[in-house]
Amino acid sequence: MMNDAASTTETSSAPAAEKFPYSSQFVAYWYFLVALSLFVLQIVLGIWLAISYGFTIPQDIVDVLPFGMTRAMHTNLLVLWLLLGFMGGAYYLVPEESQREIYSVKLAYLQLVILVVTGVAALIGFAFGWTQGRPILEIPTLLDFFIVIGALMFLFNIGMTILKGRKTAVTGMLLGGLVFLALLYLFGMPFYRNLTIDWFYWWWVVHLWVEGAWELVTAAILAFVLIKVTGVRREVVEKYLYLEVGLFLFTGIAGTGHHYYWLGTPDAWLWIGGIFSALEVLPIIAMVVDTFLTTRREGAKIKNKVVWYFAVGTAVGHMIGAGVWGFVHTLPQINYYTHGSQVTASHGHVAFYGAYVLLNLTMFWYAIPKLRGLARFKTSGAYWGFWIMGLSVLGLGTVFGVAGVLQTYIERVMSLGFMTAQEQMQFWFQIAIFFGVTLLIGALVTFWSMFIAKGARQPTDG
């Protein structure tokens, strides 16, 4: 915005206000820093999970780091850091869109502290068996209330900023997605004695988050970034935003049915789930096509190549992980065999990474160099990180996928026992450890080049 990119290499001591339009945007820096640190921790725990599958570990060690506990840490850390990343993203982009400072910076910091302390308490709690037991939502009810408080503070703060400032399609979409996201969390809090009903609502959080609310947040953040780095007119980006989001909601909500096939719910869900979840691929394809066409049609000049790279990566990653990898097992005829196997885990990794990890990294790469006050930043670490992590996750997806197909065949087609399948799968988990380590290296390279490296190449200003 106001930097003269060509004249300085970097100046970290200059007043913050010169570096980004609104000084309150700086809150986002801390959200991003915590988020990426938790990502590194999540990967380390993932490697431990692969080791637990890949080798027979002495019981004394299993007693200290049991699979169930470390799995809960791995998945909850994933959700926590992605949400913190979205929140940081919101705190960064809302002032620019609304053209005013954040309503209350103090509240934003307090909210971060509450969420991080609750997260740490949850992790320590897991170590002592304090858990609700339901995968991904293991956080005990008491701590859930603190999360709700943090979420309400966030919505209030962002909502007030948006309402008091300029209103745009991007902020409207973002606020809609965030409110939807927060409301859904409430459905995962009560425990229903009837397990069919309990799982029914569990999916309202797990599925309707990633295939509903989070998609709205993604659309808003991607739109913001595309407007900034491509110089394409706002109206052009916004027009497609409505179309994509409408399609996402239409297919994603009914698509929840792909989790109701074997739950004790009425037969109709086989049809509803199969058809609508298969259609979910359409908005995802639309997003990829739209990203390319918009920039080409408008003759856009890409101002920040790194951010553009990650934005396109997000669209393509979304398409591979959610679109292709999701479609493969979404029809009931196939899901009957693959349900709950490592095929599911394979899809879970590629989809989460391709859509939401990359989305967060896109925003981080846009905002952090500016927040650090760099007029130019080093790009090599960003590209290395992109490819090392991307290929590692594809590797993980592949080996989990092979393990899953073996498991499906041995257990569900040949009707042999669990351990017979595990024996055949072990080799593939040993390879997963390798990809876990390369992923860790990619994440550390990213962390270093994002937060620590100096150097000059790409003007931050694009």
Query: In the complex, which residues of this chain contact ligand HEM (CB under 6 A)?
Result: 43, 46-47, 49-50, 53, 71, 74-75, 78, 135, 206, 210-211, 258-259, 277, 280-281, 322, 326-327, 329-330, 335, 339-340, 344-345, 347-349, 351-353, 355, 357, 393, 396, 432-433, 435-436, 439
Q: Which is nearer to Fe ion, 349 or 372 (CB)?
A: 349
- Tell the smallest beta-carbon distance from residue 262 to ligand HEM (Å): 8
Q: Is 207 in the site for Fe ion (CB under 5 A)?
A: yes
Minimum Å gap between C-beta 352 and Fe ion is 12
Report, in Å, the least distance between residue 444 CB and ligand HEM: 13
Residue showing the smallest CB distance to Fe ion in the complex? 207
Do 201 and 223 touch, CB atoms closer than 8 A?
A: no
Look at residue 353 and give the partner it binds from Fe ion, ligand HEM, none, a contact being a CB closer than 5 to 8 Å depending on partner kind: ligand HEM
Q: Which long-range contacts (CB under 8 A, 24 or more apart) does 106-112 make?
A: 107/153, 107/156, 107/157, 108/24, 108/27, 108/154, 108/157, 109/27, 109/30, 110/153, 111/87, 111/150, 111/153, 111/154, 111/157, 112/27, 112/30, 112/31, 112/34, 112/84, 112/87
Question: Which residues does residue 376 pair with via DSSP β-bridges, in sequence order?
Answer: 459
Residue 79 or 237 having the CB closest to ligand HEM: 79
Smallest distance from Fe ion to CB 357, Å: 18
Alpha carbon separation from 360 to 99, 214, 258, 355, 374 (Å, rounded): 23, 12, 27, 9, 20
Question: In this complex, which beta carbon is closest to ligand HEM, that of residue 91 or of residue 203?
Answer: 203
Kindly indicate which of the ranges 59-67, 87-95, 201-209, 217-225 contains the residues binding Fe ion, using the contact rule CB under 5 A.
Answer: 201-209
| Residue 329 in contact with Fe ion, rule: CB under 5 A | no
Shortest CB 236 distance to ligand HEM, Å: 25
Q: Which is nearer to Fe ion, 91 or 214 (CB)?
A: 214
For residue 321, the minimal CB distance to ligand HEM (Å) is: 6
CA-CA distances (angstroms) from residue 4 to 17, 26, 202, 459? 14, 20, 51, 9
- Nearest partner of 154 among 27, 39, 23, 20, judged by Cα: 27
Complex with ligand HEM: residue 165 or 401, whichever CB lies closer: 401
Closer to ligand HEM by CB, 94 or 206: give it.
206
234 in Cβ contact with 240 (< 8 Å)? no
With contacts defined by CB under 5 A, name the span among 71-79, 119-127, 155-163, 200-208 that binds Fe ion. Answer: 200-208
State in angstroms the smallest separation of the CB of 447 from Fe ion: 30
Residue 21 — φ and ψ, nearest 5°? -55, -40
8-state DSSP, 201:
H
DSSP state, 232?
Answer: -
Shortest Cβ 131–ligand HEM spacing (Å): 15
| 432 contact, one of ligand HEM, Fe ion, none, CB 5-8 Å limit per kind | ligand HEM
d(CA 184, CA 202): 10
Q: Whose Cβ is closer to ligand HEM: residue 226's or residue 433's?
A: 433
347 contributes a contact to Fe ion by CB under 5 A: no
β-bridge partners, 458:
377
Specify whether the CB–CB gap between 398 and 342 falls below 8 A: no
Q: Report how far apart, in Å, the C-alpha atoms of 319 and of each of 14, 284, 316, 381 are.
A: 41, 6, 5, 25
Distance between CA atoms of residues 328 and 341, nearest Å: 13
Site residues for Fe ion, window 92-151 (CB under 5 A)? none
Tell me the closest approach of the beta carbon of residue 283 to ligand HEM, in angstroms: 9
| Tokens encoding 101 | 């400072």
* 146/187 with CB nearer ligand HEM: 187
The Cβ-side half-sphere exposure at 392, using a 13 Å CA radius, reads 22
Q: How many residues bind Fe ion, per CB under 5 A?
A: 1
| Cα-trace Rg, the chain | 22
- Closest CB to Fe ion among 119 and 188? 188
SS3 (DSSP) at 462: coil
**What is the binding site for Fe ion (CB under 5 A)?**
207
